[in-house]
A and B are shown apart, each in its own frame.
Chain A
Amino acid sequence: MTRTSTARQFIVRVATGSEFLSIPVAIVIAFVIGGVLMAISGVNPLSAYSALFDGAFGTPQHIADTLIEATPLVLIGVGIALCFRAGVFNVGAEGQFLIGGMAAAVVGSALSTAPQPVTLLAMAIAAIIAGAAWASIAAVLKVFLGASETLTTIMLTYVATYLVSWLLNGPAKDPNTPLAQTPALTTSGLLPGLWPGTTLHIGILVALIVAILAHLFLRRRVEGFQLVATGLNPVAARSAGLPVRRILISVFLASGALAGLAGFIQVAGVQGKMIVNLSPGFGYTAVVVALLGRSTPIGALLAGLFFGALSAGGASMETSVGVPASLVTIIQYLTVLIVIGYSAARTLRRPTRTPDGEE
């Protein structure tokens, strides 16, 4: 057993600890600290938080905004949660998301006259394949050459960002505008709405289904059981005859595919075209979503909704009370820091409290 794989298992234990009770407490603490920061800067925290709540849930459109913000976070977060469970740290979902969005937009432009179901399905499949393919680079480097996936996925995100930027300024650019973007999608390439009177599209349903399927996969499928076992002790898993390499590559591809799918939904549901700034950092925030969700699919779903509400509400808090929206980001990350810190402290402390000898 090498030192690094022991450290890795420790991280898996910290990231998957099941102290669900601590999460509401952590949220409350983070909000209290946020309130103190507001008070220091001379804003009444109560009116700020009420603006935040109103921005997230006040009107049907605000609720729709929350759900729209949550959709990519949930989709990507579920994929990252699966990776964490298997013991691989895919932190390059941002790049996989952009590549997926790019592929969806290109296919959507090409099939602009096809019937809507055909176009959307083709776009989704293209995005899934593209996201998975981008993740596969890091997966192969990790499984066959032992390269740290944390480094390769981050670096591949830079490559993806600049690749997409080049495509949008060059081959894939809409010739009719000076902006770096693809031609606008026709209606056949746009996601149907879900809630008349709001901009909510069907993406949240996809995210919901994905989270539930992932949950059932971990609970009910042999592959899910093997994935969890591999994450907790890859050496023992290999010794027990589990296809460790196949599991690691599969989970990597699955998370890339989900990030790609999220890219498709953002292109077809929100922007209507591929743009350079498709992501305000969804791929990174989703890592935090997965951590806050204790690396479970349902946890990632709830955490994604929570973060979606904070982002949607933060924007309106900024305009109505004048508190910078970045304060919301502080609250988001504080929550996660408190949860992780608590979990790490528990995991660290546990060995000294085992009854005897073996640890």
Chain B
Amino acid sequence: MATTSPETAQLDAILRVRESTVRFGSVVANDRVSFDLVQGEIHALLGENGAGKTTLMRVLAGLIQPDAGSLEVHGKTTTFDSVVDSAAAGIGMVHQHFMLVPTMTVAENVSLGLPSAGRLFPRTARVGRELRALSEKHGLALDPDARVADLSIGQQQRVEILKTLYRGARILILDEPTAVLTPGETDSLLEMLRSLTAQGTSIIFISHKLREIRAIADRVTVLRHGKSLGTYSVADTSDAQLTASMIGRDAATVSSGATTPVKRSLTAVPRLATMQLGVTDKRGRSTLEGITLSVAPGEILGIAGVDGNGQRELADALSGVRRLSGGQIELNGRPITASTVSERIALGISHVPEDRQHTGLILDVSIADNLALETARTAPFSRRGALDRAAVREHAERVIRDFDIRCKGPDQKVRELSGGNQQKVLIARAVTQEPSTLIVSQPTRGVDIGAVEYIHGQLLELAAKGCAVILISTELDEILALSNRIAVIYSGTIIAVHDRAAVDVGVLGMNMAGRAS
């Protein structure tokens, strides 16, 4: 591995973290982390969830004061007591969750809390003019007078970037900026970041997607278990080396299992089938139309597509959360269209919702309670309505062992777990119901590579046991790695269905963009 020589980096480092340590109670989130940033570079921070990336960023943003270690800006040792200090040093942070007021315009949002815009009655017109110039200079294509609520997620992210630039940031920190973006938006973001660095801005880019890091970063610092494992030049380091460094084992195992073919059983009656399924939203607009799909026992049917094309509605309709406006759903040839969520669970249809924090888990209750949430009414968790807490706890202990969930114990609140471990709780809840059919949405969104591998293994194993799996994912790689058949959803309809063996990635891409092959 080619580590950048310390001497050259030392010369033009505009920002340097030396041996920074941050403790949260007994947890050491950052353990003597060192890191430096060179003028005009894009420096990626790579690491699993819980590796300490976000903590390091919060130190740089002045949100957390490290317990030990030092910070240098342009070679001068300094401390950031608050966000104000960090901003004064030219550091601007773009959070994963945007800090914007949706009902205000772009210019108004930028003016918020900005003394130079005037405190009581901000001169948003002037700010707007300056923003327009700044936006043109960097090719951001933003209208300062647009209402934030009317902007797409990608555009809102540009507002955040523009906001930090307007406030004079020379160092941008982006926390997993692509997690919320569509592939197209990701491409234009990366392009924009490159043009920013060409004009002298330096960027810290937090991600766990190797492909993006390879596409954009000059150097990468790998974090694991709160320690910095070294800084590498991206061009001189292979993916396998980076992955190995990040997850602490040989990367060859990462993709294993993914290519194992699963034979499609050809039973006469499919396990789950939909006929002309349709869904309309509250305002009466059609969000799903004419969805006809079927999945056989032992088969994984992948639903590919760009986010926001009806995936959520499809998952909700199949699991019973959302009522149909038309069509039928059948399980083993029997209609279940009118069945509720709990009836479907009792019939063997489990589901993993896409958003673990909001729709999947209850963050403020324990792991044990979350695991029992869906089936609390049945044995062994309860008898005639009386909850058996011991059985709930015992089940959780077994699951924690079997699924290798890193936690303090079954009574720990799910809120305190890392994203990957939260997702494992959610997957385990579905898998331990021994479902005959599984509807799983975005099973690995925002989880680390180790957990991805594990979750993929679980899905394959479930299918091998004869479970029919509907896998809804916006990660094409995931769909390709796991599915026997691939359906592409576009604008609420299924635009094409391919056999995995015969699929052409180019055609899939065209389908996802709305063109039937």
Contacts and interface: CB of A to CB of B under 8 A. Distances in A.
Interface stretch (B34-42, B52-60, B504-512): B52-60
B422 interface: yes
Interface string B29-53: 1000000000000000000011111
Contacts of A242: 342, 373
Contacts of B341: 238-241
A233 B365 CA distance: 10
Nearest to A230: B362
Interface in A1-25: 1, 13
B93 interface: no
A237 B362 contact: yes
Interface stretch (B182-190, B283-291, B379-387): B379-387
A233 B362 contact: yes
B326 interface: no
Contacts of B369: 225, 229
Interface residues of B, number: 49
Given A221-B386, A225-B376, A356-B54, 18 more contacts: A13-B364, A220-B386, A221-B387, A222-B377, A233-B362, A233-B364, A236-B358, A236-B373, A237-B373, A239-B341, A239-B353, A241-B374, A242-B342, A354-B416, A356-B53, A357-B54, A358-B49, A358-B418
Interface of A: 1, 13, 219-226, 228-229, 232-233, 235-243, 352-359
A218 to B, nearest CB: 10
Nearest to B50: A356
B382 A233 contact: no
Nearest to B372: A225
Given A221-B386, A222-B382, A240-B373, A352 B50 contact: no
A241 B29 contact: no
A226 B359 CA distance: 15
B373 A354 contact: no
A357 B57 CA distance: 10
Contacts of A222: 376-377, 381-382, 385-387
A233 B369 CA distance: 13
Contacts of B416: 354-355
Contacts of B63: 352
Contacts of B237: none
B52 A356 contact: yes
Contacts of B342: 241-243
Nearest to A234: B362
Contacts of A355: 24, 27, 29, 50, 55, 416, 418
Contacts of B343: 241
A41 B360 CA distance: 57
Interface centre among A222, A352, A354, A358, by most chain B C-beta atoms within 10 angstroms, is A358
